[in-house]
A and B are shown apart, each in its own frame.
Chain A
């Protein structure tokens, strides 16, 4: 059983479309991170959110941490082929850097 569930599991869209990926849990997290992983590589951090209700923007990517710190979303505006990859959320439940990874969302952006 995953502590963090992501949806959708797979997403295939055309370039220029918008999309949202969700990361949900019944547990409260002290911080939550989003990573992007390409095949044969390790995950690369996109953002860390620590405050309930926090919204962070990274160019075309918007990240939101739920008010209760149990869930998060990643919204991509005008997706590009370079956004293709596996998106992983990861939550920490204590002050220590022990992260639990979500089930992952595999995004494919077609030209």
Chain B
């Protein structure tokens, strides 16, 4: 199994809603990532977890809250989002987080905030 699975594929939420994005991999990878990609733009790194510990937070607003319950799962909890947060949210994993490793991406969750 070389897949990173993200759910849901599409999500529409209001600015007062609370929702969660989920990401799962069963490749035994110990580094997991959240990226945000606006239309026609490259992915921007949000968070990195290494061995289930948050190792990088790219100054992401607190309305985005990541969680890594175990080495296979990564969640992104969303609360009080703004319309400008609408984007494709990509999860990725890599074996250990060392430089030059291949990133395995999921298909993403297309988020629309109304």
Q: How many residues of B contact A (CB 8 A)?
A: 27
Instruction: Judge whether A31 and B105 touch: CB under 8 Å.
Output: no
Instruction: Judge whether B42 and A103 touch: CB under 8 Å.
Output: yes
Q: Point out the residue from A2, A31, A88, A100 that lies within 8 Å of B99, measured CB to CB.
A: A31
Is there a chain B Cβ closer than 8 Å to A11's Cβ? no
Instruction: Judge whether B44 and A97 touch: CB under 8 Å.
Output: no
Q: Which of under 10, 10 to 19, 20 to 34, or 35 or more describes the interface residues of A? A: 20 to 34
Write the B90-114 contact mask toward A (1 if CB under 8 angstroms, else 0): 1010100111111111111010000
Q: How far is the CB of A36 from chain B (nearest CB, A)?
A: 11
Among A43, A90, A104: residue with most chain B CB under 10 A: A43
Instruction: Judge whether A97 and B99 touch: CB under 8 Å.
Output: yes
B103 partner residues in chain A, CB cutoff 8 A: 33, 43, 45, 90, 97, 99
Instruction: Judge whether B4 and A97 touch: CB under 8 Å.
Output: no
Is there a chain A Cβ closer than 8 Å to B8's Cβ? no
Q: How far is the CB of A87 from chain B (nearest CB, A)?
A: 10
Instruction: Judge whether A48 and B100 touch: CB under 8 Å.
Output: yes
Q: Within residues 80 to 102 of chain A, which ones have a CB less than 8 A from any CB in chain B?
A: 88, 90, 92, 94-102
Tell me the A residues contacting B by CB distance below 8 Å.
2, 30-31, 33, 40-45, 48, 50, 88, 90, 92, 94-104, 106
